[in-house]
Chains A and B, each alone.
Chain A
Amino acid sequence: MAFCIAVIGKDNAPLYLTTSDMEQELELQYHVNAALDVVEEKCLIGKGAPESKELYLGLLYSTENHKIYGFVTNTRVKFIVVIDSSNVALRENEVRAIFRNLHLLYTDAICNPFYIPGESLTSKKFDRAVQKLMSGTA
């Protein structure tokens, strides 16, 4: 289902990145990095308007093979999801649901007292849950 899920910290440091296809990992990382600029742009536009409650940013951009979606939490942590553009099973609502679940998983991981905020996420529990989310069984 989903191709790549990334969590990016508020200063744009990558906290977590996973792909379902190791061979394409580098290419997908490029996409995630490129998406950060779009996220920044979208957040800047949002600043002028009264603070919107919507954390979901929608489709950031698409390439021939991939569609990239974004989500920003109120603490400026970014979630990026890359999916295959030929994938028709994942519509707007499903992507939204992925982000919502991801947000909850991230919140739980952050609540671990042994996790230091801002460090990369190495939690096995989080990783397992995200893998499950990617394979679409969650």
Chain B
Amino acid sequence: MSRQASRLDAKKVNSEFLTLTYGALVTQMLRDFENAEDVNKQLERIGYNMGMRLIEDFLARTSAPRCLEMRETADRIQQAFRIYLNIQPTISNWSPASDEFSLVFDSNPLTEFVELPPDLTNLRYSAILSGCIRGALEMVQLEVQCWFVQDQLKGDNVTELRVKFVRRLEEVIPAGED
């Protein structure tokens, strides 16, 4: 078993710490809200707030230039997952118009030990990820929709996150500063 072999690996320990912390957060929220839909919304919002801040850090670290099309954006998102979660999703299922793609995860550190109880099938456990993507892209003037298509917690083979481009946000110039 991999756990025992890597028991002293500092990176692994940190990832387990993250997994347990996130699990505790989700279960506590479920207890507080008593409604999976509300928890989904809150997790998404937490992710959104994290994304808004993380993008700044990401741009500073990678000094990435502005993306000209969605394919570049997809690569950046993939890179961000590698930096922050040390996982590499594969990008696939592009729509013909190139405005919609899927991030496919073979493994998800957030759900490592998790087994969803049968009465919580509408809970989107990893909703923080989709919120994060949405928040980060909004800060670079891209409005996207982001949702789960498949989830390993619900018995699928992989976790698939779909990202759809909605529109470019125009720079909002404060009134009176023309």
Q: Interface size (B, Cβ < 8 Å)?
A: 18
Given the interface contacts A101-B1, A113-B24, A114-B27, does A124 sit within 8 Å of B115 by beta carbon?
yes
Contact B113 A108 (CB under 8 A): yes
Per a CB cutoff under 8 Å, which of B1, B3, B4, B20 touches A113? Answer: B20
A residues 72-105 touching B (CB-CB < 8 Å) = 101, 104
Q: Does A34 contact B (CB under 8 A)?
A: no
Q: Does A123 contact B (CB under 8 A)?
A: yes
B77 to chain A, nearest CB (A): 26
Per a CB cutoff under 8 Å, which of B3, B27, B117, B120 touches A108? Answer: B3
Contact A123 B4 (CB under 8 A): no
B35 to chain A, nearest CB (A): 16
* Bound-state Cα–Cα, A111 to B15, Å: 13
Given the interface contacts A123-B115, A124-B115, A125-B115, does A111 sit within 8 Å of B20 by beta carbon?
yes
Number of interchain pairs (Cβ within 8 Å): 37
* Bound-state Cα–Cα, A38 to B164, Å: 62
* Bound-state Cα–Cα, A114 to B113, Å: 10
A3 to chain B, nearest CB (A): 24
Contact A114 B115 (CB under 8 A): yes
Chain A residues with Cβ below 8 Å from B113 are 108-109, 111-113
* Bound-state Cα–Cα, A115 to B27, Å: 10
In the complex, the chain B residue whose C-beta lies closest to that of A101 is B1
* Bound-state Cα–Cα, A52 to B171, Å: 68
Contact B19 A111 (CB under 8 A): yes
* Bound-state Cα–Cα, A113 to B23, Å: 5
Q: Does B114 contact A (CB under 8 A)?
A: yes
* Bound-state Cα–Cα, A109 to B26, Å: 17
Q: Does B116 contact A (CB under 8 A)?
A: yes
Per a CB cutoff under 8 Å, which of A107, A112, A123 touches B3? Answer: A107
Chain A residues with Cβ below 8 Å from B23 are 111-114
Given the interface contacts A112-B113, A113-B20, does A104 sit within 8 Å of B4 by beta carbon?
yes
Contact B116 A114 (CB under 8 A): yes
Of the A-B pairs whose beta carbons lie under 8 Å apart in the complex, a sample of 26, sorted by A's number, is A104-B3, A107-B3, A108-B3, A108-B113, A109-B113, A111-B16, A111-B19, A111-B20, A111-B113, A112-B23, A112-B113, A112-B114, A112-B115, A113-B20, A113-B22, A113-B23, A113-B24, A113-B26, A113-B113, A114-B27, A114-B114, A114-B116, A114-B120, A115-B115, A124-B115, A125-B115
